[in-house]
Amino acid sequence: MSVGSPSGVGAAPEGDRILSDSTAASEADKLDVALTGFSTEEAQRYREEADEIVSRYVALVAPLAQVFGPDAEVVLHNFGRLPASIVAISGDLSGRDIGGPATDLALQNLASDTIAPYEIGYESVLPNGRRCRSSSIHLFGSFRRPVGSLCINQDVNALVAARDLLDQLINLPDSGRKVTETFRRNVGEVTDDVLAAAIRSVGTSVDMMSKAQKVEVMRVLKVRGFFLLRDAVDLAGQALGVSRFTVYKYLNEIEAGEVEPLNGQ
């Protein structure tokens, strides 16, 4: 059975191209060069099998193209007709038509010892340089080599542009300065967070801290604006186990430049 519209399937919509039986016959003299590795008998059987299997998928080409929309192209290849393997196509992304060639990837796969049943979401490039997301379903018969493939190509340039715009809107700037912000429900949560972070910054527990480490905690709290909050002195003293007087003493030492930040901070 030559490739064409299966029995019971109406004519292809305008813009969808399907190989006719007469065109297929005219291409017969081009086939021998493509079926290397086959005996004459095997090549003939491969072609017949390819025609029979691939013809079952012709009716899917047009509706699949409609499903994926105007930025998509669906192509059906019959590898028994290499090098002119395109037997049905819907969509105009690549500018190809019936009798068009297999792609470089398809030829590479056919020459491979192993080929997967399908390849989903790989990148392809149109003649005009635009990028596509492509998927191919390989059609097999009794031979190790696939007899055809059903391919879907989607122009994703608009989606890529939208993604790039979203990246610009949501990505945090890389200025070399690490900026973070934490949202809390009340002042108590804010003070607890800032205190805990300052204590963690010296790398030891409060009961093991030296005076220098406690002064460092005060310095970190001052830099982070902790002492702008109400009752901050009392809260800092309670957290470090020192008096209000000691907190003020540490702050005065920091203000006077009498202490150096630990670890060069």
* Amino acid symbol at 195: L
Contact indicator for 242, 214 with CB cutoff of 8 Å: yes
pTM score of the predicted model: 0.57
Query: Do both 51 and 148 map to the same domain?
Result: yes
Q: Are residues 84 and 148 in the same domain?
A: yes
Number of independent structural domains in the chain: 2
**60 contact partners, CB below 8 Å, separation of at least 6:** 74, 76, 150
Count other Cβ atoms within 10 Å, centred on residue 22: 9
Whether 147 and 196 map to the same domain: the answer is no
Choose the final residue of a domain: 111, 144, 161: 161
Question: Residue 70 falls within a domain, yes or no?
Answer: yes
Which CA distances in Å does 81 have to 41, 50, 148, 264? 16, 9, 9, 74
- Whether 140 and 26 map to the same domain: the answer is yes
Domain identity same for 135 and 191 = no
d(CA 224, CA 163): 36
Q: Convert the pLDDT of each residue in 213-230 to its tens digit.
A: 999 999 999 888 888 888
> What is the per-residue pLDDT for 4?
34
Q: What is the CATH number of the domain that holds 113?
A: 3.30.450
Q: What pLDDT, on a 0 to 100 scale, did the predictor assign at position 104?
A: 84
Q: Is residue 177 part of a domain?
A: no
* Residue from 44, 72, 91, 74 nearest 151 by CA: 74
181: in domain: no
Residues 143 and 200 in one domain: no
Q: 200-209 burial string, b = 16+ CB within 10 Å, else e? A: ebbeeeeeeb
Per-residue pLDDT of the chain (265 residues; tens, 9 = 90+): 223 333 333 334 445 655 544 444 444 444 443 466 678 898 899 999 999 999 999 999 999 999 999 999 999 999 999 888 999 999 988 889 999 988 888 888 888 878 899 999 999 888 888 888 999 999 999 998 999 999 999 999 888 889 888 888 887 666 565 655 566 667 788 888 899 999 999 998 999 999 999 999 999 998 888 888 888 899 999 999 999 999 999 999 888 887 666 664 4
DSSP letter for 224, please.
Answer: T
Rounded to the nearest angstrom, the gap between the alpha carbon of residue 107 and the centroid of all alpha carbons in its chain is: 26
**Claim to verify: residue 191 and residue 102 sit in the same structural domain:** no
d(CA 71, CA 69) in angstroms, rounded, equals 6
| 76 lies in some domain | yes
Among 126, 145, 161, identify where a domain stops. Answer: 161
Q: Are 121 and 135 in contact (CB under 8 A)?
A: yes
Question: What pLDDT, on a 0 to 100 scale, did the predictor assign at position 22?
Answer: 43
**What are the b/e assignments for 225-241, b being 16+ CB within 10 Å?**
ebeeeeebbebbbebbe
Range of the domain at 209: 187-264
Q: How many residues does the chain have?
A: 265
Q: How far apart are CA 95 and CA 42, in angstroms?
A: 33
Provide the residue type at 259 as one letter: V
